[in-house]
Structures are given as C-alpha cells and as structure tokens.
Structure 1
Amino acid sequence: MADNIIQDEIEAMTKRLRLPHIRRSYYDLALSARAQRWDPMEMIRLLLEIELKGRNASTLEIRRIAANLPSNRTLEGFDSSISSIPNRTIMGLSNLEWVRLKRTYWFLVLLERVRAFWRRHLQVLESKQVSG
C-alpha cells in the first residue's frame, strides 16, 4: 500500500519536473537496486544518466525534424536503382577505407556526381517554370 502511494508521488513529481525518461524507467531500476543492494548514490546516478541520454536523443530528433532532414537511414535501405552513382562506388565509399588511406579522389568524384545530379534537376525545374 505504501509503495503505491510513493510510486504515485514519484510519478507526479517526475511529471511536474518534466523528467519523462526517469518516469519511464525508475520503477524497474528501483526493483533491481533493491534486489542487488545498490548504493543509493549509484541508483541516482543511473537515473540521471538515463534522463540525460533520453534528452540528448530527443534533442537530436527535434533538430533533425526542424532541419527537414530525413529520418535516420542506412545504406541497407538505400535504393541504388534511382541513383546515378554506381552501387559499387557507394559500397566502396561506405566502408570509409578511402579516408584511412587518405585517398580523397573517390570522394571528389562522388561530390561531382551529386553536384551534376542536382544541376540537372534544377535545370528541369527551371525549364518547367519558364514554360509553365
């Protein structure tokens, strides 16, 4: 009974203090801490670490959305059929071996192809605006 009252108080306090990540994880962490007889300072440190990591992740996501960047994507989900860059080149660049070997030639080739790609698309858009 007393645990439920304390739990409700903690829920209310973390909500009021805007600590959503602590609110989601404190109960499981408290059970583990009690079972393993952790030092209270260690539990507080872990809770603050969880909140800090959660806030950092939330901040990155908010900034990504504000910048109109696509969601986190990987090369596995990349459709190479719509790219003018050969798949072999993309896979070669993805392992970053060229950076370690200090070979920037392929990177410059990639930049040139990307620039040419966007230049073509801008020319198409400009021609549509002029004719439209």
Structure 2
Amino acid sequence: MSTATSSALPEDLDRVLRRMRLRYLRKAAPEVLATARAQRSDPAEVLRVLLDEEASGRNAATRRMRRKKAQLPNGKTLSSWRPDESSISEATQNALITLEWLQRHENLVLSGPSGTGKSHFAEALANLAIEKDMRVAWHTLETLTATIMKSKVDGSIARTVARICGNDLIVVDDIGLLPVAAESAEALYRVADATYERRSIALTSNIHPSGFDTIMPKTTATATVDRLLHHAHLVATKGDSHRLAEALAGKGVIPLTDDTNE
C-alpha cells in the first residue's frame, strides 16, 4: 500500500486497522470515507461498504491460495472451454457445471480417446469449484502414488490420505496410458475408499473403468471401481484429438517466417 493512501487515514485509526489485520478495509477506507463525507452517507452504510471490502478481499485471497495449493496444471477454465466442439452433450455439460454433484459427494469419470477434452473439462470444473469456495487437489496417478507411498516411510499414510481427502474435489488425471504398478493401484484404492460417500473424485482415463483390471492388479481394480462408480457420473468422450486437429491445421505453433527474401 502506498504512503499516500496510508496517510489519508488518521494515524491512530491506521494503526488499529494494521493491528487487527484488516488489510482490505484499510486499503479501501480513504476513498470510501472521502466519498461518505462528500455525500453525507449513513454511517451504517459506510460500515457495511468497508466490511464488504474486507470480506471480498479475503475471499479473493483465499481463492488464490486454494488455486495455488490445488496445483492445477494448465490454467484451463470454462472461458477457454469450447462446449460446441465437445462430444459431451450440452445437457450433461450444463448439469456438471452446476457442481450439484459435488454437494452430493458424487464422482465424475471422463473416459475416452486422448485429446478429446477430458482433462480440459476436468480442470475447468476444478477451477469453478475453487471459485465456489471449495477445496480442490489435482493429481496424476504418479503424483498421487508418490505422495501416499512417501508417507509409508514414517507411518503417516493415514494422515496423508486424510489430508488429501480433506478436499471437496480430488482430481486424478490421465489413467490408462501406461500399465499401473501395484503401489499406484494401492494409492488410487486408498483414496477411492476414503472418499466413498464423503467427498468427490473426478477421474480422467483413456479407458473405461471396467477395463482397469487390464492395467492394474485385478483384485485392487475391482475394489476401486466398485467404490468409484457406485455414485458416479460416467461420461464418455469420442472423436479425433483436438490437439492433432489443431496441429494439422497449423494452429499448434506460431508460423515460422522466411527471412531469406528480406
């Protein structure tokens, strides 16, 4: 905050606001109070405006912190999502965007070929959930495995799983491209079991969950899929890769320029 803005408040008031850590109220106060004096505003209305500034500032800071903590990979939001180009029906997209399924602790499984928008849509929903003041964690199967298996060393695996499942939405992205090791299958099962009917998982995969037993141990796959799909929206994507289509159309890179004729 600039010295000029700070000096617009009486020194004792500025000191009290600093001590109470009312950062956003303090920032807005000089302008709000100047306007109130000019318009002879109701003191109660002035107080309401200042408290609203503090509340909205804190909410925005919390969202920034949660977005950073979630470790969303690409910054994809609904503003960059192209619903008309998706193979997911408009009705399904609209229903998922309400996020009512999160409030019911239901899961979402997006399965289909690579490049058909699964991860993009999942990240857009995750960003939306953060905007709605929910907690989100984004994982690939590899990062989920590393996080949970690391805690085996000091015996804190239960606390680690509980911390992951403290989020309202846990995204596990891109299952199915590679075979799944036993420890990775265990990590996914632990989260699916701990979140069952308590939290929501959004999972993206190149294969249908019914085929998970082809890439991971059958017993673990069966137990995981049983919990994952019991309260889940299973959405299949189809079509050609959007990334490949853009590449073939020359939209994947900035065109090179030929300087030889200059």
TM bin, normalised by shorter chain, reads 0.5 to 0.7
Larger strand share, 1 or 2: 2
Alignment pair present for 1:20 and 2:17:
no
In angstroms, what is the RMSD of aligned CA positions? Answer: 3.8
Q: Taking structure 2 as the reference length, what is the TM-score of the superposition?
A: 0.32
Structure 1 equivalent of residue 60 of structure 2: 57
Shift of 1:118: 3.4
The TM-score normalised by the length of structure 1 is 0.58
SS of structure 1 residue aligned to 2:175: helix
Query: Which residue is equivalent to 2:111?
Result: 112
**TM alignment of 1:43-122, pairs within 5 A:** 43-70=46-73, 73-77=76-80, 88-89=85-86, 93=90, 96-97=93-94, 99=95, 111-113=110-112, 114=118, 117-120=174-177
Distance 2:174 2:8 in 1: 62
Q: Which has the higher helix share?
A: 1
* Uncovered stretches (5+) of structure 2, i.e. residues with no partner: 1-6, 97-108, 113-117, 119-171, 182-262
Following TM superposition, the consecutive aligned residue runs of length 4 or more in structure 1 with deviations greater than 6 angstroms are none
Equivalent residues of 2:9, 2:30 under 8 A apart: no
- On the 8 A contact 1:29/1:43 being kept in 2, the answer is yes
**Higher relative contact order (CA closer than 8 Å, sequence separation 6+):** 2
Unaligned runs of 5+ in 1: 81-85, 101-109, 127-132
Letter in 1 for 2:175: W
Distance 1:34 1:22 in 2: 17
Give the letter aligned to residue 49 of structure 1: D
If you compute each CA radius of gyration, which structure gives the higher value, 1 or 2? 1
Across the two proteins, how many residue pairs are aligned to each other? 105
SS state of the match for residue 111, structure 1?
Answer: strand
Answering whether residue 43 of structure 2 is matched by residue 37 of structure 1, we say no
Question: What CA deviation, in whole Å up to 9, does each residue of 1:11-60 have, x standing for no partner?
Answer: 22211110110111000000111111101111011111111111111112
Shift of 1:64: 2.0
- How far 1:95 moved relative to its partner? 9.8
After superposition, the Cα gap between the structure-2 partners of 1:116 and 1:36, relative to the gap in structure 1 and judged at 3 Å, is closer
